[in-house]
Amino acid sequence: MDMEFGQEAGREKDGAEAVLIGAEAVRERHELALGRIRRIEGEGTAKEPWRAYFERTARFILLVERVYEMQETGLLNGLSLEEWEALNHALYEDILPSAYEDSFANPSCAVRELGEEAGAWLSFLYTEIRGMIVFAFEGRLTDMTILEEVFIEVYNLFEGEEPDVGGVKEALYYFVSDYCDMTLTYRVRETLDPSLCFAKSIIMDSDLTDLRYLYRFGEYISGTERSVAAFLNGLPEETIRRMADTFTEGYRKGFAVSGRDYRNKKTVQIRYHIGFERMIRAAVENFRAMGLEPVICRAAVGTMNRAASRVNGYYAGPANRQYEYDHRYDQAVYFDKAFRDRKLSVLKVAYEQYKDLAAGYAGPAVVETFGEEGFAPQNKKEAFSLSEKQEKRALSYANEAARIVDSYIPGSETSFTIIAFPLPEIGPSFEAVFQETIRINTLDYELYRGIQQVMIDALDRAEHVCITGRGENRTRLKVKLHPLRDPARETNFENCVADVNIPVGEVFTSPVLEGTEGLLHVGSVYIGDFQFRDLEIAFQDGKTTSYTCRNFEDPEECRALVKQVILKNHDSLPMGEFAIGTNTTAYETAVRYGILDKFPILIAEKMGPHFAVGDTCYSRMEDCPMYNPDGKEMTARDNAVSALRKERPQEAYFNCHTDITIPYSELDLIEAVEPDGTRTAIIAGGRFVLPGTEALNEPLERV
């Protein structure tokens, strides 16, 4: 549903609604709202078909209220494992794939049952109300009360002879807008404040061998989370320590290689998949030994803070990926210019309020997972979508918001690290793949550093690089490189070993855009939750000019999916990175276990050449010197777009960086072409051919 709210000017706000409400006032409002909701079922003042919606939603609210009461009184702690499983199922039952077809959370069902005019809006409201689950577990009564009040306000609009759909749209718009300064401000705080320790207390204080602890987070807990937690419980302590040490040492190295000092920072944010608590507990201890107190906040809940393609916090596997996909653009309900400006203003005030916490923040440490089945989304006309104006408005908001955040948390003062582990969905070889992943994550740093330096020495003589696919792969690209003013002291490629991006295995650069051109093609590649088939992206002067895939029969749907997931709704993006992956051990593992299409981009990018669209790897840190282990400065940190940051900063960044890898099996040739035309093959026939790099071929020969 492509829509625009149609109001560019917000109404006058009641200041009392703009601040955190006193505890006593909240309790009074909560009791009033709860009493009213209890009377809805059987009241009969709303006509069918809307009566069913309000009665079912009221029953759901009352179920969540029982959870809140049990949490506050401590009764949740006494539940058996079977009782926890039943409660968790009841809370998430109607969005599970088996029930979703007839759920009001499904925009198609809502429109079918409640009418085209009101259905999508009521589906939006119910989806927001489902956020009450985690609020109940965290004891956030204010958030629960606000949602209950807007539900009652909308219900009142359906009690007459005819529903006031215009009033519904207005109520929902102002529900988001009026409480923006509360919901957004709290979100800023919970990403920075280690004293908000709901999840951290569960991780550090629970008996992790008693899997009931998993349900205390309030997220949907499936067999995946239970299996991972049980598996980690069975690992030796030395293995858990090895996993955690690799993770936290990568974080420390990230600061070291960039010449920054984390010791004047105070906090680190840990993001991870529920089930890995035993490893995370060890990581918390390691970070504390480094002088950094972890912040562990939940992935954002609610349309105000959710992102369509990014998870910023801890999370469990989704109860239903189609449900999340259907509601990825719910901000279409309210995202007009007035709201954009208001949200930016609130964000600025929030960071000013928490500027001391922001100054102490060192950056994120992320544990990713992989192995899930590929997701083939269904595009529904009943779901909200952003209008062209809203797309541009959302992109401009993201750019301005990033500038605000960077002013309080400069990228030049922070770092990060990312590591990945498999989930049981990867198949019957899960335990073997897990052990192999640990091995991949701890490969010999020194060996790869030396091999990659041989490649860099050859690449630094080149004017451009040519990449050609083989077999059915149609890739034919020319990547232009920056000229080196002082080759004895400068380099075009970073020698990337195991620091911020674990595991080892790539050399990368920011290409010169002018002169970078050709076609990038991959037969099959996972990007986020999506498996793209026959992905094609064409470049001219380093920027995307066309793109498609073969995921749908309709070419327009294919282009829309690429634009949404890879281009992040930009019309065009520059090539921000060109890299050559060297981790043939990871590739061997992928082929041996038949999981070549299951590895996350974090590992997959090390298994062949990869190309990123969006910002460079040095986004907002272009002026910070970076040095390779051989002492040479990596000078290719900029391109013609990022160079605009001083004169036109609003045009310099896209706030995205999406990697696309060509696996060795689809690769023919990578050649470094010097100014005089001399061609030096780095890879030929899918094998490394430079003297000194032969060891990389051994895993390839084994497959």
pLDDT in tens, 85-115: 999 999 999 999 999 999 999 999 999 999 9
| Average pLDDT of every residue of the chain | 93
Given a contact cutoff of 8 angstroms between Cβ atoms, the answer to whether 507 and 459 are in contact is yes
Do you find a cis peptide bond into 107, omega within 30 degrees of 0?
Answer: no
pLDDT in tens, 487-498: 999 999 999 876
| Counted domains in the chain | 2
Query: Residue 521 carries which side chain, given as an amino acid letter?
Result: H
- Give the whole-angstrom CA distance, residue 504 versus residue 441: 7
Buried b (16+ CB within 10 A) or exposed e, 368-401: bbbbbeeeebeebebbbbbeeebbebbbebbbbb
Residues 266 and 119 in one domain: yes
- Give the whole-angstrom CA distance, residue 212 versus residue 210: 5
Residues 387 and 478 in one domain: no
Residues 6+ apart with CB under 8 A from 179: 17, 146, 304
Query: What value does the mean pLDDT take over residues 451-479?
Result: 97
pLDDT grade for 11, boundaries at 50, 70 and 90:
very low
Residues 100 and 230 in one domain: yes
Q: Kindly tell me if the per-residue pLDDT of 20 is higher than 60.
A: no
Q: Tokens 């309030």 appear where?
A: 218
Range name among 386-395, 621-630, 665-674 with the lowest pLDDT average: 621-630
Residue 23 has what pLDDT? 85
Residues 503 and 487 in one domain: yes
Query: What value does the mean pLDDT take over residues 181-199?
Result: 97
Query: Residue 164 carries which side chain, given as an amino acid letter?
Result: D
Residue 575 has what pLDDT? 98
Q: Kindly tell me if the per-residue pLDDT of 43 is higher than 50.
A: yes
pLDDT in tens, 628-661: 989 999 999 999 999 999 888 889 999 899 999 9
Given a contact cutoff of 8 angstroms between Cβ atoms, the answer to whether 690 and 454 are in contact is yes
What percent of the chain clears pLDDT 70, i.e. is strictly above it?
Answer: 96
Residues 98 and 154 in one domain: yes
pLDDT grade for 21, boundaries at 50, 70 and 90:
low
Residues 395 and 519 in one domain: no
Residue 601 has what pLDDT? 82
Stated as kind and residue range, the H or E segment containing 465 is strand 464-469
Residues 379 and 489 in one domain: no
Q: Kindly tell me if the per-residue pLDDT of 241 is higher than 70.
A: yes
- Give the whole-angstrom CA distance, residue 161 versus residue 284: 58
What pairs with residue 421 in β-bridges? 369
pLDDT in tens, 497-521: 767 788 989 999 999 999 999 999 9
Domain end, chosen from 377, 408, 442, is at 442
Q: Which domain holds residue 676?
A: 444-702
Contacts 24+ apart (CB under 8 A), 18-22: 18/178, 18/181, 18/182, 19/181, 19/182, 20/142, 20/182, 21/142
Domain end, chosen from 405, 427, 442, is at 442
Query: What value does the mean pLDDT take over residues 473-490?
Result: 97
Higher pLDDT, 308 or 665: 665
What pairs with residue 607 in β-bridges? none
pLDDT in tens, 346-361: 999 999 999 999 999 9
Q: What is the DSSP letter of 477?
A: E
- Please return the burial class of 540, using the count of CB atoms within 10 Å of its CB with bins 0-12, 13-18 and 19+: middle
Q: Kindly tell me if the per-residue pLDDT of 568 is higher than 80.
A: yes
Domain end, chosen from 384, 416, 442, is at 442
Residues 291 and 361 in one domain: yes
Residue 14 has what pLDDT? 41
Q: Kindly tell me if the per-residue pLDDT of 6 is higher than 70.
A: no
Residues 122 and 29 in one domain: yes
Closest CA relative to residue 601, chosen from 569, 634, 629, 565: 565
Q: Kindly tell me if the per-residue pLDDT of 1 is higher than 80.
A: no
Tell me how crowded residue 417 is: count the other CB atoms within 10 A of its CB.
25
Given a contact cutoff of 8 angstroms between Cβ atoms, the answer to whether 605 and 508 are in contact is no
Residues 301 and 423 in one domain: yes
Given a contact cutoff of 8 angstroms between Cβ atoms, the answer to whether 437 and 606 are in contact is no
Residue 650 has what pLDDT? 84
- Please return the burial class of 197, using the count of CB atoms within 10 Å of its CB with bins 0-12, 13-18 and 19+: middle
Q: Kindly tell me if the per-residue pLDDT of 372 is higher than 60.
A: yes
- pTM of this prediction exceeds 0.95: no
- Give the whole-angstrom CA distance, residue 373 versus residue 424: 11
Residue 310 has what pLDDT? 58
Residues 268 and 321 in one domain: yes
Closest CA relative to residue 123, chosen from 337, 313, 370, 383: 383
Residue 316 has what pLDDT? 96
Residues 386 and 522 in one domain: no
Given a contact cutoff of 8 angstroms between Cβ atoms, the answer to whether 506 and 606 are in contact is yes
What percent of the chain clears pLDDT 90, i.e. is strictly above it?
Answer: 83
